[in-house]
């Protein structure tokens, strides 16, 4: 029998860098938001200011919320508020009046002068769905990718006398237009798989996607009907967006969703220039 080996473990706080940013091309920025932490809105603000201060400015932005599991509701509201100058961001409804809350955008400090493409997938949940849903409902951004996880319920933790606690589902999240996120998620405006089906690995093709609606005992979406199981975004499959040639950056060219997002932003700018020339 092999000898036992003793290990000394030390607890530590693991800090995840919430916001990462870079330029995709001159004038086109990329911000990856990994999760919604206490400083996410301030870090996002700094990233935007840095991009806007560069020579080409900020002509378009890709906001990457893929595999973002969520985090603080207050941060989801503040992040959405950065890109909206008015209107509702999200609201909650429960059985009692105290569970009914509404959150609104403020005009001060809003970034509204450039188009945005928000990337989402089945790993985008909770707070990231709130942001994507708000920007989609206000037509502030195009949501691109695959359907999100569908975590649209609010949990309240009640401490008990024996030092344990009881977690109760007490409310649901709704987008500004009244769409329930629960079990349905956010359906992208343009559906683009992470990799073309013919290029995907065999294991990836066989692996079923796991979302809230697949979990046993999940809270049902009261708005859902049998016909709503089909994703309306299917009508705008990825082949509807003309793809440009390679950029020479493997991190872009090997990411089908990011590549299509950049193509969309660039064509958006070209179309805008054509309209302005005709108007002149």
180 located within any domain: yes
The domain of 181 spans 19-279
Is 200 contained in some domain? yes
Q: Please tell me the total number of residues recorded for the chain in this structure.
A: 280
Is 86's pLDDT higher than 90? yes
Evaluate whether residue 205 is within a structural domain. Answer: yes
Question: According to DSSP H, which parts of 84-235 are helical?
Answer: 127-137, 202-206
* Average pLDDT value for residue range 169-197: 90
The total number of structural domains in the chain stands at 1
Given a cut of 80, is residue 211 above it in pLDDT?
Answer: no
Average pLDDT, the chain: 86
pLDDT tens readout for residues 226-260:
444 444 444 444 445 566 778 888 989 999 999 99
Tokens of 33: 């938001």
Question: Rounded CA gap, 175 and 50, in Å?
Answer: 30
Q: Is residue 12 part of a domain?
A: no
Counting runs of H as helices and runs of E as strands, what totals does the chain give? 6, 10
Convert the pLDDT of each residue in 259-272 to its tens digit: 999 999 999 877 77
Cβ-Cβ contacts under 8 Å for 226 (sequence gap 6 or more): none
Question: Is the distance from CB of 236 to CB of 191 less than 8 angstroms?
Answer: yes
In a domain? residue 10: no
Does the pTM of the predicted model rise above 0.75? Answer: yes
**pLDDT tens per residue across span 11-57:** 998 877 899 999 999 999 999 999 999 999 999 999 999 999 999 99
User: Is there a domain that residue 8 lies in?
Assistant: no
88: in domain: yes
Q: Is residue 14 part of a domain?
A: no
Give the CATH number, domain containing residue 266: 3.90.226.10
Indicate which residues carry an active-site annotation: 126, 137, 151
d(CA 193, CA 258): 11
């Amino acid at each position: 029998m092999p000898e036992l080996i003793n290990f000394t473990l030390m607890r530590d706080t693991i800090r995840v860098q919430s916001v990462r940013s870079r330029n995709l091309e001159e004038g086109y920025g990329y911000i990856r938001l990994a999760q919604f932490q206490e400083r996410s809105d301030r870090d996002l603000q700094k990233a935007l200011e840095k991009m806007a201060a560069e020579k080409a400015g900020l002509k378009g932005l890709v906001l990457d919320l893929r595999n973002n599991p969520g985090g603080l509701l207050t941060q989801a509201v503040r992040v959405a508020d950065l890109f909206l100058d008015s209107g509702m961001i999200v609201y909650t409804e429960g059985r009692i009046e105290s569970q009914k809350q509404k959150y609104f955008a403020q005009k001060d400090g809003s970034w509204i002068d450039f188009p945005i493409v928000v990337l989402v997938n089945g790993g985008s949940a909770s707070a990231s769905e709130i942001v994507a849903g708000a920007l989609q409902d206000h037509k502030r951004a195009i949501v691109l990718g695959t359907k999100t996880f569908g975590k649209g319920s609010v949990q309240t933790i009640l401490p008990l006398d024996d030092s344990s606690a009881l977690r109760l589902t007490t409310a649901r999240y709704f987008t500004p237009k009244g769409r329930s996120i629960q079990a349905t998620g956010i359906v992208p405006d343009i559906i683009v798989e992470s990799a073309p089906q013919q290029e995907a690995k065999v294991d990836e093709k066989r692996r079923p996607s796991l979302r809230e609606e697949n979990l046993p005992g999940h809270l049902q979406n009261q708005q859902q009907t049998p016909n709503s199981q089909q994703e309306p975004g299917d009508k705008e499959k990825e082949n509807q967006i003309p793809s440009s040639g390679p950029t020479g950056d493997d991190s872009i060219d090997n990411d089908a969703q990011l590549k299509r997002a950049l193509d969309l932003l660039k064509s958006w700018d070209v179309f805008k220039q054509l309209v302005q020339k005709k108007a002149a």
